[in-house]
Amino acid sequence: MTPALLVLRDGRAFRGEALGARGETSGEVIFNTAMSGYQEILTDPSYRGQIVAMTYPLIGNYGINEEDVESRRPWVNGFVVKEAASVPSNFRSRTTLSAYLEAHGIVGIQAIDTRALTRHLRDHGAQDGIISSVETDIDILRERARVLPQSLLGRDLVSEVTAEAPFGWREGLWERERGYVATAPTTCRVVAYDAGIKLNILRQLRSTGCDVTVVPAHTPAEAVLERNPDGVFLSNGPGDPETAPYLVESVRKLIGRVPVFGICLGHQILGLAAGGRTYKLPFGHHGANHPVKDLATGKVEITSQNHGFAVDPESVARAGWEPTHVNLNDGTCEGLRHRELPVFSVQYHPEASPGPHDASYLFDRFKALMKQKGG
């Protein structure tokens, strides 16, 4: 096996073996606690700019298939695992994890102590790092890592992942290629902002009877309203929400004009559009097992999450907003709604299913708001 190194900005280094493409990459190193779903993680645009370390020790055991992608390509900057399965076992598998990474030019590393890496990131915070299978001198890599530009600081990652032009989900490239077919008659017209949208969000919207048009993140509010939508959806996406002021401004103009539902980055964008404040979490929430409490019902949902920023709910309280969900691990805000206007959001991913479909009701709530407004 080809030796490889992972070196963090603070100098912590891990020796291992090369995984995927040979070369060198850098990005913000974060950890994900999911035991499965690695293909969805790799193809989630929200991971743009990040090196993802999986805490579960065996990754790739069911291989890679053609159905479980969440976007048109993998987006992670790098991938870190304890052990990558070389012989996958699943009837849908078409290739191995390592071959998939290599085919897409993604540099990875395996055979390192991922528990030690996770504890270090938990205790010291997510930080930039380098994976290299071409440079074996730790001191050289430590110096490179020390002077890395911070991956997410001031970088508009949304512009790097958004669609180039509007498209209808019925006629979208991915649907034509994969043969997806809507299962419910359309009763509402939704315009979805693509800040890095996942395919399963589009499937969920269609399954609840929405006719979905996806527009690039730079689309002005006026252009959205010209489409006469019954509702507007704000998607997930990568990076700091403050680096997408064009999207914040568009959403600010849409609030009160049409029902709005935001997920993940869309939740943060709504918070900023309402005049609120966002802040960076020490190591973020990345995984398929985060408990979230619905403050209205008292029920607890086990949710899938992927975000490094959060909204301060007190910063939007005076503007008529109130928190609807709270993270039971750290108490951060996981949902907001306006007391009078048909606008709400959640920080987690209700379209993902880490077990029961705990949060799928949110799409029905969005549809109900649109129907109340005449959709």
Place of tokens 């070196």: 7
Catalytic residue among 40, 301, 334, 351: 351
Could you confirm whether 267 is annotated as catalytic?
no
Whole-number Cα distances in Å, 374 to 204, 231, 259, 367: 21, 10, 11, 11
Sign of CA dihedral 245, 72, 68, 112: negative
List the Cα angle 374/319/321 in 5-degree steps: 65
List all residues 6 or more positions away from 331 whose beta carbon is below 8 Å from its beta carbon: none
C-beta separation of 35 from 226 below 8 A: no
Per DSSP, the three-state class of 254 is helix
- 6, burial (CB in 10 Å: exposed 0-12, middle 13-18, buried 19+): buried
Catalytic residue among 120, 286, 325, 349: 349
Catalytic residue among 264, 290, 333, 338: 264
Tell me whether strands 260-263 and 188-194 are parallel, antiparallel or unpaired: unpaired
Q: Minimal CA–CA distance to 81: which of 6, 13, 9, 23?
A: 6
CA gap 4, 22 in Å, rounded: 9
Q: Minimal CA–CA distance to 276: which of 267, 288, 285?
A: 267
List all residues 6 or more positions away from 345 whose beta carbon is below 8 Å from its beta carbon: 234, 260, 261, 262, 263, 266, 267, 270, 271, 335, 336, 337
Quote the DSSP letter at residue 172: -
Place of tokens 């504890």: 119
Other CB atoms within a 10 A radius of the CB of residue 103 amount to 13
Could you confirm whether 349 is annotated as catalytic?
yes
The set of catalytic residues is 264, 349, 351
